[in-house]
Amino acid sequence: MRVGAPPSISIITPSDGPPSSDPLEEFFDKRIDRLRDQAAEVDPNVALRGFQELLEELPVSASGAIRFRVKANIGHRHLALDDGESASRWLLDAFDEAPTDQRAVANRALAYFVRGKARAAYDYAAEELRRDPTNKTLASYLPQFAVQLPEIEHPLADVPEGIRGCEEVAAGEIAFHRGREDRPVWWGLARRGLELFPSSKHLAFVFALADLDEISRDERVQRTHLPTEDQRRRLQFAVEVLDAHWTARQFSLRSRFENGVEALVGAMIAHHILNDGERAVERATRIADAGFAEHDVLLNAVMVALSYGDMELGRRLIDRLPNDANLAFHAGYIHVQDGRWDLAAERFSVANVPDFERPVVDAICRLAEVRARSADAPVLEDLVTEFAHSPRALVLVSRVATETGNVALAERAYRDALACVDADTHMAGRLMVASLARDLGTPSDIIELLDGHVPAQGYERENAWLAIAHANERPHRPRNLRFFESLPATVRSSHEMARAHASVLLDLDKVPDALALLRRLRAAEEDDTYVTLRLVEAMRRSGQAKAARKLLRSVPLERMKGAPEHAMMLIAQVAAAGNREDAYAAAYDLVRKHPDRADVSLGYVGLGLLRNGGPGFRMKEAGLGAFVALEGPMGARRSFAIDEGPEFFGIPVETPGSPIARLVTGKRQGDTFEIPKMGADPETWTVASVHGKYLQLHHQIIDEFEIRFPGTPGLSRFTMPEGDVSAALAMVRRSAEHNERTARLYVDQHLPLTVVARALGGDPVGFAQYVRTLGADVTTCTGDGKEREAACAMALAARGRGAVLDPYTAWVAAEMDLLPRLRSWFGTLHAPASCIHMIERMIEKQRQGIGHRQMTMSWHEGQFYRDEVDDDFLRSQIAVLEAGRDKIVAACEIHSVLVPDKTSEVADTMLEMAGSSFLDAAFLAQEHGVPLLSDDARYRSWATAATGCEGVWMQVVLMTAAETGVLPMAAYGTAVVGLAVRQHSFVSLKGDALHEICRQDDDRLYRLKAALRYIGGSGAEMTSHLMVVVEFLKAVWDYDGDLPILRRKAATGLVFEAFLRGRREDWLEWLRRLIHYAPRTAAFRRYLRDWLRGHFIQVEQLTGQKA
Instruction: Identify how many contiguous H helices and E strands the chain contains and give both numbers.
Output: 56, 14
pLDDT in tens, 841-872: 999 889 888 877 777 777 877 788 788 888 89
* pLDDT above 70: percentage of residues in the chain: 97
Q: How far is CA 993 from CA 795, 819, 965, 1035, in A?
A: 19, 20, 13, 10
Question: 278 phi and psi, to 5 degrees?
Answer: -60, -50
The confidence band for 499, taking pLDDT boundaries of 50, 70 and 90, is: very high
Tell me the residue ranges of DSSP E strands in 152-228: none
Q: Quote the CA–CA distance of 803 and 785 in Å, as a whole number.
A: 23
Which pLDDT does position 1018 carry in this prediction? 83
Which pLDDT does position 16 carry in this prediction? 53
Residue 475: is the preceding peptide bond cis (ω within 30°)? Answer: yes
* pLDDT above 90: percentage of residues in the chain: 79
One-letter amino acid for residue 1091 of the chain: W
pLDDT in tens, 409-422: 999 999 999 999 99
One-letter amino acid for residue 546 of the chain: K
Q: Is 391 helix (H, G, I), strand (E, B) or coil?
A: helix
Which pLDDT does position 8 carry in this prediction? 59
Tell me the residue ranges of DSSP E strands in 650-779: 653-654, 672-677, 680-692, 778-779
Q: Is 561 helix (H, G, I), strand (E, B) or coil?
A: strand
One-letter amino acid for residue 906 of the chain: V
- Enumerate long-range contacts of 894-897, CB under 8 Å, 24 or more apart: 894/831, 894/832, 894/833, 894/835, 894/836, 895/830, 895/831, 895/832, 895/833, 895/924, 896/508, 896/509, 896/832, 896/833, 897/475, 897/832, 897/833, 897/834, 897/921, 897/923, 897/924
Which pLDDT does position 610 carry in this prediction? 47
Closest CA relative to residue 956, chosen from 798, 808, 811? 798
Torsion angle defined by CA atoms of residues 779, 784, 789 and 792, in that order, rounded to the nearest 10 degrees: 10
Which pLDDT does position 856 carry in this prediction? 78
Best-predicted range by mean pLDDT (26-30, 583-587, 825-829)? 825-829
Which pLDDT does position 12 carry in this prediction? 59
What's 690's DSSP letter? E
Q: Is 32 helix (H, G, I), strand (E, B) or coil?
A: helix
Listed range (515-524, 731-740, 742-751) with the worst mean pLDDT: 731-740
Which pLDDT does position 6 carry in this prediction? 52
Q: Calculate ∠ Cα 647-651-653, nearest 5°.
A: 50
Which pLDDT does position 465 carry in this prediction? 95
How many other β-carbons are positioned within 10 Å of the β-carbon of residue 866? 9
- DSSP result, 828-895: -EEEEHHHHHHHHHHHHHHHHTTTS-EEEEEEETTEEEEEEE-HHHHHHHHHHHHHHHHHHHHHEEEE
Say how far residue 2 (Cα) sits from the centre of its chain: 34
Contact (CB, 8 A) for 933 and 954: yes
Q: Helix, strand, coil shares of the chain as percentages rounded to 5?
A: 65, 5, 30
Q: Quote the CA–CA distance of 660 and 179 in Å, as a whole number.
A: 84
Q: Quote the CA–CA distance of 838 and 818 in Å, as a whole number.
A: 20
Listed range (33-42, 236-245, 266-275, 1096-1105) with the worst mean pLDDT: 1096-1105
Q: Quote the CA–CA distance of 55 and 69 in Å, as a whole number.
A: 10
The confidence band for 3, taking pLDDT boundaries of 50, 70 and 90, is: low
Q: Quote the CA–CA distance of 863 and 852 in Å, as a whole number.
A: 26
Q: Quote the CA–CA distance of 283 and 273 in Å, as a whole number.
A: 14
Buried b (16+ CB within 10 A) or exposed e, 519-543: eebbeeeeebbbbbbbbbbbbebee
One-letter amino acid for residue 784 of the chain: D
Tell me the residue ranges of DSSP E strands in 271-390: none
Q: What is the dotted CATH code of the domain comprising 509-615?
A: 1.25.40
Report, at the CATH architecture level, how domain 23-213 is classified: Alpha Horseshoe (1.25)
Q: How far is CA 801 from CA 890, 922, 923, 932, in A?
A: 18, 16, 17, 12
Give burial (CB, 10 Å; 0-12/13-18/19+) of 987. buried
CA atoms within 13 A on the CB side of 694: 25
Rg (C-alpha) for the chain, rounded Å, is 44
Which pLDDT does position 1107 carry in this prediction? 40
How many other β-carbons are positioned within 10 Å of the β-carbon of residue 676? 8
Closest CA relative to residue 583, chosen from 593, 594, 596, 573? 573
pLDDT in tens, 630-665: 999 989 999 999 999 999 998 999 999 999 999 999
Write out the CATH class of domain 617-717: alpha beta
Q: Quote the CA–CA distance of 87 and 395 in Å, as a whole number.
A: 55
CA atoms within 13 A on the CB side of 954: 34
Question: 908 phi and psi, to 5 degrees?
Answer: -60, -40
Contacts of 276 (CB under 8 A, 6+ apart): 457, 458
Closest CA relative to residue 91, chosen from 37, 567, 77? 77
Residue 5 has pLDDT above 50, yes or no: no
In this prediction, residues 776-782 reach a mean pLDDT of 94
pLDDT in tens, 316-334: 999 999 999 999 999 999 9
Which pLDDT does position 738 carry in this prediction? 86
pLDDT in tens, 66-94: 999 999 999 999 998 989 999 999 999 99
The distance in angstroms from the start CA to the end CA of the chain is: 94
Q: How far is CA 652 from CA 541, 635, 1050, in A?
A: 44, 19, 77
Alpha helices for 616-725 (secondary structure H) = 659-664, 693-708
Q: Calculate ∠ Cα 484-486-492, nearest 5°.
A: 50
* Mean pLDDT over each residue of the chain, to the nearest integer: 92
Q: Quote the CA–CA distance of 569 and 600 in Å, as a whole number.
A: 9
Which pLDDT does position 244 carry in this prediction? 94
Question: 986 phi and psi, to 5 degrees?
Answer: -100, 140
Say how far residue 917 (Cα) sits from the centre of its chain: 17
Report, at the CATH architecture level, how domain 782-955 is classified: 3-Layer(aba) Sandwich (3.40)
DSSP H or E run through 638: strand 637-642
Q: Quote the CA–CA distance of 861 and 838 in Å, as a whole number.
A: 30
Torsion angle defined by CA atoms of residues 734, 738, 739 and 743, in that order, rounded to the nearest 10 degrees: 150
Q: Quote the CA–CA distance of 766 and 53 in Å, as a whole number.
A: 99
The confidence band for 734, taking pLDDT boundaries of 50, 70 and 90, is: confident
Q: Quote the CA–CA distance of 909 and 742 in Å, as a whole number.
A: 20
pLDDT in tens, 13-38: 555 555 556 788 888 889 998 998 88
Torsion angle defined by CA atoms of residues 850, 851, 853 and 857, in that order, rounded to the nearest 10 degrees: -10
pLDDT in tens, 704-720: 999 999 989 888 776 77
Residue 571 has pLDDT above 60, yes or no: yes
Contacts of 720 (CB under 8 A, 6+ apart): 726, 727, 728
Buried b (16+ CB within 10 A) or exposed e, 236-247: eebbebbbbbbe
Q: In what order do the strands lie in the sheet with 680-692?
A: 653-654, 637-642, 626-631, 680-692, 672-677
Contact (CB, 8 A) for 427 and 225: yes
pLDDT in tens, 150-207: 999 999 999 999 999 999 999 999 999 999 999 999 999 999 999 999 999 999 999 9
pLDDT in tens, 540-557: 999 999 999 999 999 999
Contacts of 604 (CB under 8 A, 6+ apart): 568, 587, 588, 590, 591, 697, 698, 701
